[in-house]
Chain A
Amino acid sequence: MERKIGKYRWLWAFLLLASGLVAQEVQLTARSSRTSVGLDEPFRVTFSSNARGGDLNPPNFEHFIVVGGPYSSQQTQIINGSMSFSRELTYQLVAQEEGTFSIGPATLEVKGKRYESNTLTIQVKAGVQRERSSSPTKSVGFTVDILSSKKEVYVGEPIVLLFSATLFEQVRDLNMLQTPNFENVLQQQLDFEQQSRRERVGSRIATILDFDKRLIIPNKPGTLGGQELKITGAVQKPTGRRDFFNMPLMRWEQEVATAKIPAVTIKPLPTPKPAAFSGAVGELELVRELSRTAVNGDESITLKLRIEGTGNFNTISVPELIPPQGFDLYDPKFNEKIRYSERGVRGYKEFEYLLVPQFKGQFILPEMQWTYFNTKYGTYETITLEETTLNVTGEALNEASTTDAGSTPKVQREVSSIDNDIRYLQEVDENKTQSKRPLLWLWVVFGAVVLGWLLQLVSFHPKIKSPEAVRAAVKKDINAAWKTNDPEAVDQMLNALEGALVQRGIAKEHISLSTLKEVLGPEVGGRTNELIERLQLALYAPNATGSNEEWLNEFNALWEQL
């Protein structure tokens, strides 16, 4: 039995260890090399786990910058037959601002189960911040500086910022952690080769490395400054120990250096600005170059219009040429050469025109004016390119000659040979004048037509006549009918009388001698009754009628009294 155990003791030991490990619970811890750090002072945060597998995810290092790592390591230990395993993930951080900050827990997922580390609290103090830029202490491996080309500029005037690192030790992996963030400026990273040189800084020899160059063109007045540049690098430092050959042992330590941009005052451009101000700022010139001013008909002129000097070339545009008369102008060719240096932006922008003459004679290349702000004198300057006369000769072209007519030259026309070219005078009608309102009468006629149409819509109704008028009209009608021997005359007269009696309150069926006498009086009533009877008789027996004239007279007499 002992022999059997001895034969398999290693196997037993392995199984025991394995079972012990399996039974061991997964642990994830976080620790920091320091709990109180200064600004820009690197420190380490390490996450340890005893789990062999799984994904270890670091937290979001808010308020800190990762300047090194992650460095991972694993370790297996067997002590007194007990085996342990651990793995670590280490980050090198620097704080970005003062205060007390927490670093959240890292997470580890093993076989679908999620584990979290503890949270770290780090206190960041300004007092621990190291001296920058000047008088470096011995412990500083490198510093960084920002050099500005100007301390005071106008809006639109370019500034060049040079980022330079001073290396006192061997430094590797130099990186920009944070670049200045400008507002209201046009920023452009300039292409240039990194340059290094050896210089004495204080009592030490250092390597100066210019590693970045930027062009800044401010758009608004104010102060440019305060923004930070932060770089990191691994510095070689002695450990204080020596190796077997008595050579000093070195190690690489991560360091951070910070520099602030020196304050640059951005002044507004003076007001009032000239109306023709182009927006160009700097020390500039407007140049117009002509390949020739006298040209044959089959030749052309090359005209270059150029802005050159130092200024905000990124936003400058060359003014358009005012084309001369008598020339064909082709689309210009654009040339540009701009160099960026600590002194600003130098170069030129140019339009190259080709002028092809179309006519023979003298033509004016117009005067041009261009206004910019001169930063040297702090004033607006207007550059004037004077008018230039271009002489065109050539038999193939039409003639035209130029004379000086006052201040502005003018093309003088050839008129001596036009006798047969233009038509002669026409006969003038001196009495023909232009009316001030030639069509007024026509609108009046049109108005009459509109009125005519309106009349068509209006129908005429007879007016309501007064009783007297009605009576008079009836009498008139009866008289007219009677005199023309109208057969209806008797009927009309009888109807008129009956109608009149109705108006007096005597209905037709109540007409009688007594009623008439009672209402109209004895005399008129009797006469009316007699006339009515005669008329009724005449109506039914026309031959028995008496004198027509007599009846009419009687009717007229009674009508007035009824």
Chain B
Amino acid sequence: MGATVISLSDSASTLYADGQFESARTLFESLAEKGTADPALYYNIGNCYTRLGQFGEARLWYERSLLFDPSNEETLHNLEWLNTRLTDALPPPNDALLHWIGHQLRAILTPEHWGLVAGVLLAGAFALLILRKFKRPSLTWRLPLALSSIGLVLLLAAQISKPQSDKVVVVGNNSYGYSAPDANGKRIVLLSEGSAGRLVRTSEGWFYVALGDGRQAWFSSDHWIRILPINLH
């Protein structure tokens, strides 16, 4: 009779099912802290925050999940639902072109899979080149060239499809936007929890964020969290 090993995620799921969302969130986040990098984990943490009514954090984790698994229907559904509750929040501006291309590529294959295909093709090209050089000089160069070219393109696709994001999300209370990185400066905007933007640059304790409506302002970094890198707070 063997002992049953209950994983942390199972425990967290049980707590979640019992309505202990705070405890479930703590367990899920401890997994993330240990280095588990599964979009499903990020999704689950997002669910916990949703249940706790902390929609800013929920949005952050759903966005993180989608960054690694852009076509996950459950995540897309929950985020869409969340957006219906965050109607007073400002949506982020469009992604930069390279990030958008990466997002589209990730929707087809994961970066690892792009890399795997690229690796197979490149390895084949290498083998053919060695064969041609040392054993079969009469072997045509067209085949290794084609394999090398396609492999290179797929390698670039793998590189671009690596999750990258400059998005930031308001997770705290309302966040005031200032004209300068100074709390005594002129306030120009107030954003509510769950609002998102693109991080343009940072200054000590301040984020300069581009908003979806075209405005840009300085915000205290205490109220914002970057989607990447995934740092727990």
Measured CB to CB, the residues of A under 8 A from B are 274-276, 278, 319-320, 322-326, 358-359, 363-364, 366-369, 398, 405-406, 408-415, 418, 421-434, 438-439, 441-443, 445-446, 448-449, 452-453, 455-456
14 contacts between A and B (CB under 8 A): A278-B186, A325-B174, A368-B187, A369-B186, A369-B187, A410-B173, A413-B53, A423-B47, A430-B31, A433-B36, A439-B155, A442-B118, A442-B122, A449-B125
Question: Are A428 and B9 CB-contacts (below 8 A) given A413-B55, A418-B50, A422-B77?
Answer: yes
**Distance from B38 Cβ to chain A, minimum over Cβ atoms (Å):** 4
B144 touches A452 (CB 8 A): yes
B43 touches A426 (CB 8 A): yes
B51 touches A418 (CB 8 A): yes
A448 touches B126 (CB 8 A): yes
Q: How far is A325 from B185 in the complex, measured between Cα atoms in Å? A: 21
A445 touches B123 (CB 8 A): yes
- Work out how many contacts link A and B, with CB atoms closer than 8 A: 166
B193 touches A410 (CB 8 A): yes
Q: How far is A425 from B158 in the complex, measured between Cα atoms in Å? A: 29
B88 touches A438 (CB 8 A): no
Query: Is B199 close to A, CB under 8 A?
Result: no
Q: Which chain A residues lie closer than 8 Å to B173 at the CB level?
A: 405-406, 408-410
Interface string of B165-187 (1 = CB under 8 A from A): 00000000110100010101111
Interface residues in B, total, Cβ within 8 A: 65
Q: A408-B173, A431-B36 are in contact. List 15 more A-B contacts (CB 8 A).
A: A326-B87, A367-B187, A369-B186, A413-B85, A415-B51, A423-B74, A428-B28, A428-B36, A438-B111, A445-B126, A446-B151, A449-B122, A449-B125, A452-B144, A453-B148
A275 touches B129 (CB 8 A): no
Q: How far is A322 from B188 in the complex, measured between Cα atoms in Å? A: 6
Q: How far is A359 from B126 in the complex, measured between Cα atoms in Å? A: 63
Q: How far is A274 from B151 in the complex, measured between Cα atoms in Å? A: 59
Q: How far is A422 from B151 in the complex, measured between Cα atoms in Å? A: 41
A442 touches B155 (CB 8 A): yes
**Distance from A364 Cβ to chain B, minimum over Cβ atoms (Å):** 7
Query: Is B216 close to A, CB under 8 A?
Result: no
Measured CB to CB, the residues of B under 8 A from A are 7-9, 13, 16, 28, 31, 35-38, 40-41, 43-44, 47, 50-55, 74, 77-78, 81, 85, 87-88, 111-112, 115, 118-119, 122-123, 125-126, 129-130, 132-133, 141, 144, 148, 151-152, 155, 158-159, 162, 173-174, 176, 180, 182, 184-190, 192-193
Q: Which chain B residues lie closer than 8 Å to A438 at the CB level?
A: 111-112, 115, 162
Q: Which of A410, A422, A453 has the most CB of B within 10 A?
A: A422
Question: Are A456 and B152 CB-contacts (below 8 A) given A422-B78, A427-B40?
Answer: no
B8 touches A430 (CB 8 A): yes
**Distance from B128 Cβ to chain A, minimum over Cβ atoms (Å):** 8
A449 touches B126 (CB 8 A): yes
B9 touches A430 (CB 8 A): yes
Q: Which chain A residues lie closer than 8 Å to B43 at the CB level?
A: 425-426
Q: How far is A412 from B53 in the complex, measured between Cα atoms in Å? A: 7
Q: Which chain B residues lie closer than 8 Å to A426 at the CB level?
A: 40, 43-44, 74
B133 touches A455 (CB 8 A): yes
Q: How far is A280 from B162 in the complex, measured between Cα atoms in Å? A: 51
State which of A274, A275, A324, A429 has its C-beta within 8 Å of the C-beta of B38: A429
State which of B16, B36, B129, B174 has its C-beta within 8 Å of the C-beta of A455: B129
Q: Which chain A residues lie closer than 8 Å to B133 at the CB level?
A: 452, 455-456
**CB-based closest 4 A-B pairs:** A452-B129, A434-B37, A426-B40, A428-B9
Question: Are A364 and B174 CB-contacts (below 8 A) given A369-B187, A426-B43, A433-B37?
Answer: yes
Q: How far is A452 from B35 in the complex, measured between Cα atoms in Å? A: 38
